[in-house]
Amino acid sequence: MNRTLGGENASRIPWYLTAVLFASTSVIVGIIWDISWHRTIGRDTFWTPAHLAIYAGGLAAGLSCGWLALKTTFAGSGTEVGRSVRMWGFRAPLGAWVAIWGTIAMLTSAPFDDWWHNAYGLDVEILSPPHVVLAMGICAIQLGAMLMALSWQNRASERGQRLLGFAYAFSAGLLLLNLSVVMMEYSMPNDWRGPAFHMISAGVYPLVLFAVARAGRLRWPATWAAVVYTGVTLVMMWVLPLFPAEPLLAPILRDVDRMVPPEFPLLLVVPAIALDILLRRASRPGQAPARRSVDWGLAAVGSLMFVGIFGVIHWYFGEFMLSEAARNYVFQGDTWGYFNRPGPWQYEFWGGSRLWPTVWWALPIGFASARAGLWVGNWMLAVRR
């Protein structure tokens, strides 16, 4: 456990990576909390606890990575300077620069978001202009954490790779969670039989899962990322309703007396297991196959596996989530914000209910996403700085 890498202990996570992982967690927890706040209480002030958690995470990432850039530039050892990237006359690891950019984007979005609410009131959709800037900043911080973990994982001894691989999978799981929040308007249980849900999912999730499965040096990297996504969502889903709250912004169309939880997480763990198995048959964890042409076949088979497994599971699980059996504390079915008028629509599927035409449209999208994910994963295998 005392092996070193570039003058630092390879069997533990460096403090600045820990800080960025904390920042990523704080930000996404704050985002889920903020959405619950909007659905339960409404907009009252910018200085809500949820907003503080979001921007505290952004500042933690920016300040820790900013300090790392100053330290590397003016007091870094030859090894530290050698594994850094030069930008604006300063030097820092690539992941630190990406996280710094994310912090700048997040802080830019804050006054923009406050003005937007003062001008237009309650959000009618997730992807408002200030929220798009905020989401991009959060994704950058999470991607920065992934790159920082990768640079250490790819240089580490075999003994040190496991812990750093977990750090990489953890940051990837938070990225999956952030992407699922961005797509929340298209992934309610009522959407699980609609073509938009399956095509959007096929375009987003294979990209992340294939990249993680290719670059991670765990035995089950994509599975661990999906477990992190699922675990954090479940914790928020089960903790938030424990706190009493009531709406403070009209019109109030539904009685709400507890914090409204997020929806039950998508069952990404099942296709993630299948994709891990597929890639393990082609090469060892953390390695590309000997022939890069193999990736085209892996993308084709992987698209078929993801779209088929993901589609069938959610097709039938959606029926359960809309049933009375899911209306309990464990599954939190039938939970809506105070501004959603009660009606039969909340127990119905939206956007059609034909599986196979949806699958045929999703397959080519999934193929492009999987192939892009393998390309990104191959690039990530070479990250050292």
> How does pLDDT run across 89-132, given as a tens digit for each residue?
888 888 888 999 988 888 887 777 767 766 666 555 666 777 78
pTM greater than the 0.85 cutoff: yes
Is the omega angle on the peptide bond into residue 261 within 30 degrees of 0, that is, cis? no
Specify if 96 maps to a domain: yes
Residue 108 CB contacts under 8 Å (≥ 6 apart), including other chains = 133, 137
Q: What is the mean pLDDT of residues 343-348?
A: 90
Specify if 173 maps to a domain: no
Residue 5 has pLDDT above 60, yes or no: no
Q: Are 112 and 258 found together in one domain? A: no
Determine what percent of the chain is predicted with pLDDT higher than 90.
41
Specify if 2 maps to a domain: no
Specify if 178 maps to a domain: no
Q: Are 215 and 349 found together in one domain? A: yes
Q: What is the mean pLDDT of residues 295-321?
A: 93
Query: End of a domain among 136, 153, 170?
Result: 153
Specify if 170 maps to a domain: no
Q: Are 361 and 212 found together in one domain? A: yes
Residue 3 has pLDDT above 60, yes or no: no
The pLDDT of residue 109 = 77
The domain in which residue 204 lies consists of 187-385
Q: Are 118 and 251 found together in one domain? A: no
- Residue 370's nearest CA partner among 381, 359, 378 is 378
- Residue 167's nearest CA partner among 110, 126, 209, 216 is 216
- How many separate domains does the chain show? 2
The token pair at 183 is 């797509």
Q: Are 205 and 311 found together in one domain? A: yes
**What does pLDDT average to over the chain?**
85
CB atoms within 10 A of CB 129: 11
CA angle 31, 172, 17 (to 5 degrees): 90
Q: DSSP of 163-228, one letter per residue?
A: HHHHHHHHHHHHHHHHHHHHTGGG-SGGGTTSHHHHHHHHHHHHHHHHHHHHH--SSSHHHHHHHH
Contact 242, 257 (CB under 8 A): no
Q: What is the mean pLDDT of residues 126-146?
A: 82
Q: Are 112 and 211 found together in one domain? A: no
CA–CA separation, 209 and 156 (whole Å) = 23
Q: Across 10-14, 149-153, 287-291, 358-362, which has the greatest mean pLDDT?
A: 149-153
Q: Are 146 and 194 found together in one domain? A: no
The pLDDT of residue 1 = 33
Q: Is 48 exposed, middle or buried (0-12, 13-18, 19+ CB in 10 A)?
A: middle
Specify if 70 maps to a domain: yes
Q: Are 209 and 96 found together in one domain? A: no
Residue 287 vs residue 380, higher pLDDT = 380
Q: Are 29 and 148 found together in one domain? A: yes
Q: Across 46-55, 81-90, 194-203, 225-234, which has the greatest mean pLDDT?
A: 225-234
Specify if 5 maps to a domain: no
The pLDDT of residue 216 = 85
Q: Are 57 and 103 found together in one domain? A: yes
Query: End of a domain among 153, 173, 195?
Result: 153
Q: Are 142 and 199 found together in one domain? A: no
Q: Are 281 and 373 found together in one domain? A: yes
Specify if 297 maps to a domain: yes
